[in-house]
A = this chain, B = another copy of it.
């Protein structure tokens, strides 16, 4: 692709074909899978955008491109309708932008799916006196029913599961912890606009003991004797909570092995990731 000299400020890229004049197309970069990405940042007149989009699609078809991605910041909301009228679909949106996508070939669409899951943690923090760190929340499904529950929270995109568990416990209760193990996990489906929730039950060891409750979300927090936690009628009634109690007991009696995080070099990247596995059994000689 060559850029033609132009006296006027350029709205798009200029593509010169065989010396027979120039076609202006949208600025784009190639992705790693045979497609192009348009990442618009500056305002553009919708009619100019419509015209550039048409000529760009023709060029990309000629070039044999497949997926065309257009990322529009929310400030450029006036261009969304133009793209949809040209045949683009929504792919995903975040508060500040929308990503639109168009698949050029007639067959074999390989547009990757949008994120499908929210990931959460529940934190079992047991001290040496067999007291469990529990909270009551100011809102949500557990509010107002008098139940003392585990600290819980959402794992952000880009955050490690064990880091999220340590962070949430600290945020809600002020308690410092170190991560021990994932004791189990479960999914709940169709919980929020058709997405699935994946929750990791995490065991942590307390490193501090003075509770400083987060006032915005947490009504109360305390160290509660495990037996008192276990006999709450709510916990006796609901299977997932009975299961948490079972796992706590198994863990206190030291018979249960969960998954521990092990740092590992990423694949095709320089980042450090974590794999969670049963390291006790892995290193046991057969």
Contact = CB atoms under 8 A, between A and B. Distances in A.
Interface of A: 33, 74, 77-78, 80-81, 84-85, 89-99, 108, 110, 112-119, 139-141, 154-161, 183-190, 192-196, 198, 216, 238-241, 243, 246-247, 250, 253-259, 262, 264-269, 271, 273-278, 281-282, 284-286
Given A92-B94, A247-B282, 10 more contacts: A77-B84, A81-B81, A90-B93, A90-B94, A114-B115, A116-B119, A117-B118, A119-B198, A157-B196, A186-B274
Residue from A74, A186, A216 with most neighbouring chain B CB atoms (10 Å): A186
A235 to B, nearest CB: 11
A77 B74 contact: no
A161 B187 contact: yes
B267 A188 contact: yes
A228 B204 CA distance: 40
Contacts of A256: 278, 281-282, 284
Contacts of A77: 80-81, 84-85
A240 B257 contact: no
